[in-house]
Copies of this chain bind each other. A is one copy, B any other.
Amino acid sequence: MYRIGELAKACKINNDTLRFYEKNGLLSPSNRSDSGYRLYSEKDKEILQFILRAKGVGFSLAEIRELLSIEVDKANNACADVKELVDAKLLDVEQKLAELTRFQTSLKRLSDACCGGEKSAEHCTILEALESDTSQIRHEHHHYKAH
């Protein structure tokens, strides 16, 4: 049996995180000591590691709660159920990737068009691009590489 600080240290998380997971229905200690201290079993530790691994591949706590509810009753759940959760998350991640990739492309274009020199920003192509309607950025900078 681990006390809260022992388990937290072993898994490199904060004691409060463990209390937080308990409050949010992810992991409750199997026992309490006479004086009310939380006592976690090996099995509890395994569940915690499950949670941390799931976090490590991008699952939110709400999603992990779903995974856990399947975990504890594998017999009455199908592979399909598990895979569905993974595939939904994958879609989610890919949508975020798509948005970030758009940001990256735009930012790169902005950065590349700007000379980055020490003279006045009065004609900086980045500011011009943000001021104007066009989403296209002119790659000719009238003081490009010059200043």
Contact = CB atoms under 8 A, between A and B. Distances in A.
A120 interface: yes
Copy number in the complex reads: 2
B100 A97 contact: yes
Interface residues of A, number: 57
Contacts of A80: 116-118
Contact of A124 (B74, B87, B93, B135): B74
A89 interface: yes
Interface of A: 46, 49-50, 53-54, 56-58, 67, 70-71, 74-84, 86-87, 89-90, 93-94, 96-97, 100-101, 103-104, 106-108, 110-111, 114-122, 124, 126-127, 129-131, 133, 135, 147
